Amino acid sequence: MDDQREGPMNDHRRFPIVALGASAGGLGALQAFFRALPVDRRDGMACFIVAQHLSPRHRSQIAAILGQCTAQTCLDLVDGLQPEPGFVYVLPPGRGIAVCEDGSFRLTEQAGSPTPTPSIDGLFETLARHFGARTIGIVLSGTGSDGSRGARAIADAGGSVFVESETSAGYPQMPIATRDTGVTSCQGTPGTLALRVYALAISCFEGTTPEDADPAVAASLLSLLGSLADLRGIEANARTVDLLHRAAEAAGCRTLVDYRLHLLDDGAERLHLARRLAALQRLWPIGAAQRAALLRHFAARAQTMQVGETELRIWVPACGRGESAWQIGILLAGLQHPDGRPVSFRLFATDSDAEVLNQARLARYSRETLETCAGLTAADIDHGFIGDGELMRPQPWLRERIVFSPHGVLNAPPFPRLDLVSLQLDARSLTGAAAQLRVFHYALREGGLLALQGPRCEPDSQRFEVLDPAAGLW
Catalytic site positions = 23, 53, 146
Residue 385 has what DSSP assignment? Answer: E
Residue 360 main-chain phi, psi, to 5 deg: -65, -40
C-alpha 231/C-alpha 279 separation (Å) is 10
Residue 308 main-chain phi, psi, to 5 deg: 100, -15
Instruction: For residue 414, say if its preceding peptide bond is cis, omega within 30 degrees of 0.
Output: no
C-alpha 230/C-alpha 129 separation (Å) is 44
DSSP-derived pairing of the beta strands 391-394 and 385-388:
antiparallel
Q: Of all helices (H) and strands (E), which one includes residue 63?
A: helix 62-67
Q: Which of 233, 194, 198 is nearest to 214 (CA)?
A: 198
Q: Angle 328-331-336 (CA atoms, 0-180°, nearest 5)?
A: 130
Q: What's CA 474's distance to the chain center, in Å?
A: 32
Quick one: three-class SS letters along 390-413? CEEEECHHHHCCEEEEECCCCCCC
Q: Which of 45, 31, 39, 50 is nearest to 137 (CA)?
A: 50
